[in-house]
C-alpha cells in the first residue's frame, strides 16, 4: 500500500511564496511532490525546479508532476547545494525557494528505510541510499563520547550518557542490527520516570542519529549561507523546520542576512561592509492551525519562517 503523505502548511507556503505565473521557483525538498504540485499548477510560462536527495522520492514525485510537463524539472541532489545546482542549470536567480526539512511520511512508514522506531528494520536512516554513512555504523562503531555528544546536541536527550554507555555494553555482546533492537537498548537505559512520559523513549535518540547520518544541521547552515544570493529582488525564501535545533539555525541564518552588521553599536556608520540581503516577512514562525493538526498530527511541531530578498 502506498504511504499517505500530507504536505505540511501547504496554504501558508503557497501564500508565503507569492507565486507569479511566469516566475522560477525551487522546491528543495521535493518529497512526494505535494508542495511542488501546488506551485506548478499556479505557473503558466514559469518553471519549478524540484530537488531531492532520495531517488525514490524523485521517481514518485515525477509521476505526480507529469501533467505539468516542461513547467517542472527534477534534480537528484542535496538541498545544501541549491545554489550550485542552479548554477549548473544556468539559472542566475529565482523568485522563490521552499524547503521542508522534515522526514516524509513514506520514509517513516516504509519499514526498510529504518527511520521509524515503530517498525522493525535494518538500521539505515539514509536519505540518499548512495551515501556511505548509515545508522548501523554510528550505533555499532562510533566511540561513546561521540555518541553521547550527538544525543545531547542533536537529540537534546538528557539521558545521553546512560543511553550511550548502554549501547556500548549491548554492542560488545553482539552488533545492534535493527531499529527495534536499538529501541530495546534505549528503553533499558531509561529511568522509570522517563518511560512514563508521553513521548516515545526512543524519539530523541532516533532524531539525533538521523541528523548525524544525513549531516542535516550543517546542510541547513550551508543552505542559509548560500541560497539567498540566488533569489531575485522580491523573491521569497520559505523554510519549514520540525525541531528547535533546526528552527534556531533557520532563524539565525535569516538574521545573518538581515542584520549581520558587526560594528559596535556606538559607530555612526557601518564600516564592516555588511549589506542586507533578506528581510523577514514574519517575525514569528507560522505554525499549523488546529484544523491541520486534526487532519495531520505529524505537523504538530512544524514552524515556517519566511524572508524576502531586498
Longest dimension (CA), the chain: 66
Tell me what pLDDT residue 147 has. 98
Query: Do residues 114 and 123 make contact, with C-beta atoms less than 8 angstroms apart?
Result: yes
Q: CA 187, CA 194: separation in Å to the nearest integer?
A: 9
The string of pLDDT tens digits covering residues 116-137 is 999 999 999 999 999 999 999 9
List the Cα angle 97/10/293 in 5-degree steps: 135
- Which residues sit opposite 240 in a β-bridge? 100, 304
The string of pLDDT tens digits covering residues 144-168 is 999 999 999 999 999 999 999 999 9
pTM score of the predicted model: 0.92
Residue 106 predicted with pLDDT over 90: no
Residue-averaged pLDDT of the chain: 94
The string of pLDDT tens digits covering residues 9-67 is 999 999 999 999 999 999 999 999 999 999 999 999 999 999 999 999 999 999 999 99
Tell me what pLDDT residue 2 has. 44
Q: Which three cell numbers stand for residue 55?
A: 531517488
Q: What is the DSSP letter of 110?
A: S
List the Cα angle 296/32/300 in 5-degree steps: 25
Q: Which three cell numbers stand for residue 69?
A: 510537463
Amino acid at each position: 500500500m502506498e504511504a499517505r503523505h500530507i504536505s505540511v502548511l501547504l496554504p501558508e507556503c503557497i501564500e508565503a511564496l507569492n507565486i507569479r505565473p511566469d516566475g522560477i521557483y525551487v522546491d528543495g525538498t521535493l518529497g512526494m511532490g505535494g508542495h511542488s504540485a501546488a506551485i506548478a499548477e499556479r505557473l503558466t510560462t514559469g518553471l519549478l525546479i524540484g530537488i531531492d536527495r532520495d531517488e525514490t522520492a524523485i521517481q514518485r514525485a515525477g509521476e505526480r508532476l507529469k501533467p505539468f510537463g516542461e513547467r517542472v524539472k527534477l534534480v537528484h541532489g542535496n538541498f545544501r547545494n541549491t545554489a550550485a545546482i542552479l548554477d549548473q542549470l544556468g539559472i542566475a536567480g529565482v523568485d522563490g525557494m521552499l524547503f521542508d526539512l522534515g522526514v516524509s511520511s513514506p520514509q517513516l512508514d516504509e519499514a526498510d528505510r529504518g527511520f521509524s522506531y515503530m517498525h522493525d528494520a535494518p538500521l539505515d536512516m539514509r536519505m540518499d541510499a548512495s551515501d556511505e554513512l548509515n545508522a548501523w555504523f554510528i550505533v555499532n562503531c562510533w566511540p561513546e563520547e561521540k555518541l553521547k555528544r550527538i544525543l545531547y546536541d542533536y537529540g537534546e536527550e538528557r539521558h545521553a550518557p546512560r543511553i550511550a554507555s548502554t549501547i556500548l555494553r549491548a554492542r560488545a555482546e553482539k552488533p545492534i542490527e535493527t531499529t527495534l533492537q536499538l529501541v530495546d537498548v534505549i528503553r533499558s537505559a531509561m529511568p522509570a520516570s522517563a518511560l512514563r512520559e508521553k513521548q516515545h523513549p526512543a524519539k530523541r535518540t532516533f532524531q539525533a542519529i538521523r541528523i548525524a547520518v544525513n549531516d542535516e544541521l550543517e546542510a541547513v547552515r550551508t543552505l542559509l549561507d548560500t541560497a539567498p544570493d540566488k533569489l531575485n529582488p522580491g523573491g521569497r525564501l520559505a523554510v519549514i523546520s520540525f525541531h528547535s535545533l533546526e528552527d534556531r539555525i533557520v532563524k539565525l541564518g535569516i538574521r545573518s542576512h538581515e542584520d549581520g552588521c558587526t560594528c559596535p553599536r556606538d559607530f555612526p556608520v557601518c564600516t564592516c561592509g555588511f549589506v542586507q540581503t533578506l528581510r523577514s516577512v514574519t517575525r514569528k514562525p507560522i505554525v499549523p492551525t488546529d484544523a491541520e493538526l486534526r487532519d495531520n498530527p505529524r505537523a504538530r511541531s512544524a514552524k515556517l519562517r519566511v524572508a524576502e530578498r531586498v
